[in-house]
Structure 1
Amino acid sequence: MKYFIAVVEAHSFTEASYALEISQSAVSQQIKALEDDLGVPLLVRQNRTFSLTPAGEYFYRHGKELLQEIDAFQKETRRLGEDQELQLRLGYLNNYCGSELYETIAAFSAQYPEVTIHIFNGTHEDLYEQLRSKKADIVLNDQRRAFSDTYENDILATGVLYAEISLQNPLSRQNHLSLEGLRRIPCILVASAEQEQAEEAYYTDTLGFAENFLFARTLEDARLLVASNRGYLPLETFNATTPAGTASVRLPLYKDGKPLLRHYCLFWRKDNSTYYVEEFANLLHKRIQPQDSHYRRTDDVEKNQKIPKKQ
C-alpha cells in the first residue's frame, strides 16, 4: 500500500524508488503482488507512463487515510510499550497557596486516569535540582535565574507577592504590607535545614527583606506561627483570597511604595517534552484567571515591565 501510494504521488516508478530508497524493480514487483492479491488492476501502464483505474483511484484515496491511521496506531502502541508505568512527576513551591494547581491535578487525573501523578514540593533550588537531575517532569516555580535553553520556560503569570499576617498585628488593618514597615517583624520561610541559607540569601539580597527570619518545615507549621503572631509569611499565590478562619489576613507586599512583583513559571526539560507534560501545562493555564488589580497575566505586565528572556 505504501509503495503504491508513493508511485501515484511521484507519477513515476523511478522517482518513487528514489523516495523509498529501494530499486525500481522491487517497487514494480510489490505493485504487481498487490494487484494479484486484490485480483484487479490498479494501474494502466502505457510505455513509461501510467494512469489509475477506478479501483486504483479508490485504493489510493482510502489507502492514504488508512496509512495515516496505522502510523498513529503504531506510535501510540510504541509509546505505551516504552512506558513501563505512565507517570507525571510534578513539583511545586512549598509556600504555594492556591486552588489552581489542585484543580488542575484533579482535571488531569479525570481526563487521563492511566497516568499516575507523583507530587512533591520544595524551595526554588530543590525544584531546580529535581528537574536538572531528571527526577521531576514538570515544576511550578518562581523565576530566580536567567532562562536556559535546556528547559521550556513557560511563564504562567506575573503578580504581587502576598503575605499572611496575624489579625492580632495592627499592620493587618492596612491595604498592603511594606517591607520597610515589616523590618522588625520576623519573616517566616518554609525550607529544609539544608536550604535555609539559600532562601535567606535570596530574600535579603534579591528581594530586599530584612535579615530577620524564622524557618518552618511545612506550610502548615508556618501558618501556625502566623496564627500565634510570631511573624508574617510570604506566599506564592495567584490570588488574594482570604485564608479560611479568622486568625490571619492575606495582603500584598510592597517595596519602596511599589508592589513586589513575581514571575511564576512552569519549567520542564526540552528533552522530556511529552504529551502529558504539555497537556498539564495547558490545563493549568486555563485555570489561572485574574482575581484582582494586584494580579495580571504576563502579557499585561510586560506592557509596563520587561520580563527578561535572557540574561
Structure 2
Amino acid sequence: MELRQLEYFVAVAEERSFTRAAERVHISQSGVSAQIRRLERELGAELFDRSARVATLTVAGKAALEHARAALAAAGAVGQAVGEVTDLIRGTLTVGMVLGCTITPLFDALAAFHEAHPGVELALLEDNSDRLVEGVRSGALDLALIGTANAVPEGLEALTIISERLVAAVPPGHPLAARRRVTLPDLADHPIVCMPQGTGLRAVFDEACAARGLRPVIALQAGAADTIADLAVRGLGVAMLSESMAARYRDRLTALPVEDVRAPALLALVWREGGGPAVRALLRHARRTFSAQPL
C-alpha cells in the first residue's frame, strides 16, 4: 500500500469521479484507475461501485475513507515537522527595523535566537516603517519592528511592544519650556523637528494636525531620535518624540505632553499571517526579552 494510492482513493471519493480525480492529482484517468485497482487487490475488497456513472463508495470504501485521510494527514505532519526542523538548522531570517533603532530587547532577542539556531543566517535591514510594512507583505522581509499609528497594519499579524503618548521636547529658555503641557495650536507657532513621513511618530502627528485643520511648519526632519534631539537643543525647532525617546534627553530637553493628541504612537513587531518556524522561534525570544526588560 502506497501513499499515492491513498491519495488517489481519497480524490476519487471526494470528486465522485475518476476523471475529475485524475485532473486533481495531475495524472491520467487510466493511471488513477490502475492504482485504485492495485489498492483494492491489496485490501481484498472493492472500494467503489462502478456500475453507475458516479463513483460511489462501497461499504468497504466508506470504512477505509477516514483512515486513508488520517494516514495522508499523518504523512503531511511528518513532512512539516521535518521541514520546520530543517528551516531552523539552516536558512535565512530577514528582519527589518526602523531607522535609528535603539530598542535593545530586540537585539537581545536576535542574540538569543542566533545562539539557539546558529545555522540560520540573520539579515538586518533598516528603513522607514511604511517601506518595512511593504517588505513584510511582499515577503522580502520575514518580520519587522515598525512604528505605527495603527495597532495592526492591514493583512499582517502584530505584537505591540510600546504604546506611548506623543511629546514635544524643548531646550531651557524656549518660550514653551515653562509649561507643563502643550496643545497642537501652541506648537503651530513654532518650527517643528520630527521624523520623516512614513514613520509611526510622524503619522500620529500628521493625523492629529489634519483632524484639527492645522498645518505646522516642519523645519527639519531626521530618522534618528538622537539627531532630532540635537537639533532641538540647538534651537532649530520643537522636537516631536515619544515619551521614552524624550526621557533619554531629560538633561537637555524638557518633555511636554501634547494634551490634545490622544492616539498613541505604537512600536510593533509585524509578520505575515502564520509566519514560518524561524519567525515563530524569534517571536518566542522577543516575547521573553520584551517582557523581562524595561524599555
Q: If the TM-score is normalised by the length of the shorter chain, which range does it land in?
A: 0.5 to 0.7
Cα deviation digits, residues 94-119 of structure 1 (max 9, x gap): 36554333333333333333333332
Report the alpha carbon displacement of residue 124 of structure 1 after superposing the two structures with TM.
Answer: 3.2
Q: How many percent identity over aligned positions? A: 16
Aligned to 1:232: 238
Distance 1:90 1:104 in 2: 12
Q: CA deviation at 1:24?
A: 5.5
> Residues 66-77 of structure 1 correspond to what in structure 2 (within 5 A)?
74-76=82-84
Partner of 1:267: 270
Verify the 8 A CA contact 2:209 2:216 in the aligned structure 1. yes
Cα distance in 2 for residues equivalent to 1:284 and 1:131: 17
Quote the Cα distance in structure 1 between the aligned partners of 2:206 and 2:281. Answer: 35
1:136 is paired with a residue whose SS is: coil
Alpha carbons 1:156, 1:285 under 8 Å: kept: no
Note if contact 2:106-2:290 (Cα within 8 Å) is conserved in structure 1: no
Partner of 1:137: 142
* Match among 149, 164, 171 for residue 166 of structure 1: 171
User: Paired residue for 1:222, among 222, 228, 249?
Assistant: 228
Deviation at 1:120, TM superposition (A): 2.9
Q: Which amino acid in structure 1 is aligned with residue 283 of structure 2?
A: A
Q: 1:191 to 1:68 in 2, by over 3 A?
A: closer
Per-residue CA distance 1:65-89 (angstroms, 9 max, x = gap): xx999767633465469xxx62222
| Equivalent residue, structure 2, for 1:185 | 190
**TM-score normalised by the chain length of structure 1:** 0.55
> How far did residue 240 of structure 1 move?
6.4
Post-superposition Cα deviations, 1:248-298, rounded to whole Å, max 9, x if no partner, equal 24454321xx6442344322222x711222333343334445999xx9xxx
**CA contact 2:88–2:277 (8 Å) conserved in 1:** no
Q: Contact (CA 8 Å) 2:88, 2:278: kept in 1 or not?
A: no
What is the distance in 2 between the residues matched to 1:284 and 1:104? 5
Matches for 1:26-175 after TM superposition, within 5 Å? 26=42, 74-76=82-84, 79=87, 86-94=91-99, 97-144=102-149, 150-169=155-174, 171-172=176-177, 174-175=179-180
- In 2 relative to 1, CA 277–163 (structure 1 residues): closer, same or farther, beyond 3 Å? farther
RMSD of equivalent CA atoms: 4.8
Provide TM-score, normalisation by structure 2.
Answer: 0.58
Aligned residue pairs total 236
1:268–1:224 CA distance, 2 compared to 1 (3 A): same
Q: Structure 2: how far apart are the matches of 1:106 and 1:249?
A: 35
Asked if the contact 1:94–1:122 (Cα under 8 Å) also holds between the matched residues in 2, the reply is: yes
State the Cα distance separating 1:213 from its structure 2 match.
0.7
Residues 205 and 92 of structure 1: CA distance in aligned 2, closer, same or farther (over 3 Å): farther
Is there any run of 5+ residues in structure 2 with no aligned partner, and where?
4-12, 14-35, 45-74
Q: Deviations over 1:222-254 (max 9, x none)?
A: 2321221212333356x4673168322445432
What letter matches 1:161 in structure 2? L
Structure 2 SS opposite 1:180: helix
Q: What one-letter code is carried by the residue in structure 2 that aligns with 1:277?
A: V
Which residue identity is paired with 2:39?
Answer: S
* Aligned residue type for 2:140: K
**Alignment partner, residue 205 of structure 1:** 210
2:56 matched residue in structure 1: none
Determine helix, strand or coil for the equivalent of 1:234: strand
1:23 to 11, 16, 39: 39
Matches of 1:161 and 1:183, distance apart in 2: 15
Structure 1 range deviating more: 245-254 or 118-127 = 245-254
What is the alpha-carbon distance in structure 2 between the residues aligned to residue 211 and residue 290 of structure 1?
A: 39
Map 1:280-291 to 2 at 5 A.
280-288=282-290
Give the 3 Å change call, closer, same or farther, for CA 26–110 of structure 1 in structure 2.
same
Question: What per-residue deviation string (whole Å, max 9, x for no partner) do you get for residues 159-206 of structure 1?
Answer: 3224443244354455444333322222212338x99xx968546325
Q: Distance in 1 between matches of 2:255 and 2:119?
A: 38
Tell me, yes or no, if the aligned pair for 1:100 and 1:284 is still in contact at 8 Å.
Answer: yes
Question: What is the one-letter code of the residue matched to 1:158?
Answer: S
Structure 1: unaligned runs, 5 residues or longer: 4-17, 29-66, 296-311
